[in-house]
Amino acid sequence: MKKKLVTAARILAALVFWGLVWQLCAAAVHLEFILPGPIAVFRRLLSLCRTADFYQTILLSFLRIAAGFCGGILAGVLLAFGCAKVRLLDALFSPLMAIIRATPVASFIILVLLWIEKGRVPAFISFLMVLPIVWQNTLLGIRSIDRQTLEMAKVFQITGKRKLFKVELPSILPYFLSASKVSLGLAWKAGVAAEVLALPKVSIGTMIYNAKLYLESTDLYAWTIAIILISVVLEKLFSLLFRGKGESHAAN
């Protein structure tokens, strides 16, 4: 309990420090449309929180990005198992995953805008960001399974579902959870970036674009803080949901 209080105090002190730095910078610039102060921004954020449109916008953005995230998780896991079993699949998909990881997100967004309806772009971009990370880490997890353990399972005639749940999944799970946690934040950021360029009718990205277009800097900063807070909350919820399951292997 004491350790948690000390950690919370440190975080609060850091937030206060950077809040003061922000306020000093805003006072030095003295132009709100360029750099509004933290008080004005948080007032605007609280004002937005009192409206139903604010929550509707967040919900619709979340649903789009969550669809891409879940699709990327499912495709990454299935493809990893396929590549682990069939060498030809691994040879075919490894270069593709390397290309996806190396291509800038903005390039993907612009290319995808030529192919599909703009409302589906954020989900597809989130899918693309999640897929290679989950694929690679899950594949590493499969290949890390102890061969001696597999031989023992064979000797004791442990096969089928029992082998999967007792031998294979415990080895793969830490890799999978690590990849999923990293992918969650990446999918959220990439999805919002896709919204900024695709401009779906109701979305966080569209609100950010409009704020920039009309020089409503307090709105721009308020929505940015909302994005950060949502990302932190999602990662905390993910950690709580899978606490004790193991997330020690970072996604590469």
- d(C-alpha 62, C-alpha 38), whole Å: 26
For 6, half-sphere exposure in the C-beta direction (CA atoms, 13 angstrom radius) is 3
Instruction: Write down the pLDDT at residue 156.
Output: 52
Instruction: Write down the pLDDT at residue 146.
Output: 62
Listed range (33-42, 152-161, 184-193) with the worst mean pLDDT: 152-161
Domain boundaries in the chain? Answer: 1-30, 39-241
For 85, half-sphere exposure in the C-beta direction (CA atoms, 13 angstrom radius) is 6
- At 125-156, the pLDDT tens digits run 999 999 999 999 999 988 887 666 655 555 55
Q: Which CATH number does the domain 39-241 belong to among 3.40.50.980, 3.30.460.80, 3.30.465.10, 1.10.3720.10?
A: 1.10.3720.10
Q: What share of the chain is helix, strand, coil (3-state, %, to 5)?
A: 85, 0, 15
- At 48-86, the pLDDT tens digits run 999 999 999 999 999 999 999 999 999 999 999 999 888
Angle subtended at Cα 40 by Cα 34 and Cα 41, rounded to the nearest 5 degrees: 75
Instruction: Write down the pLDDT at residue 250.
Output: 44
- Nearest residue to 226 via CA among 77, 25, 76, 42: 42
- At 116-126, the pLDDT tens digits run 888 899 999 99
Angle subtended at Cα 165 by Cα 163 and Cα 166, rounded to the nearest 5 degrees: 65
Categorize the per-residue pLDDT at 252 as very low, low, confident or very high, splitting at 50, 70 and 90: very low
Q: Tell whether the model's pLDDT for residue 194 goes beyond 80.
A: yes
Instruction: Write down the pLDDT at residue 165.
Output: 60
Instruction: Write down the pLDDT at residue 67.
Output: 95
Instruction: Write down the pLDDT at residue 151.
Output: 58
Is the distance from CB of 206 to CB of 199 less than 8 angstroms?
yes
Listed range (116-120, 151-155, 186-190, 201-205) with the worst mean pLDDT: 151-155
Instruction: Write down the pLDDT at residue 171.
Output: 79
Q: Tell whether the model's pLDDT for residue 251 goes beyond 50.
A: no
* Full-model pTM: 0.85
The average confidence (pLDDT) of the chain is 86
- d(C-alpha 140, C-alpha 98), whole Å: 15
Is the distance from CB of 191 to CB of 122 less than 8 angstroms?
yes
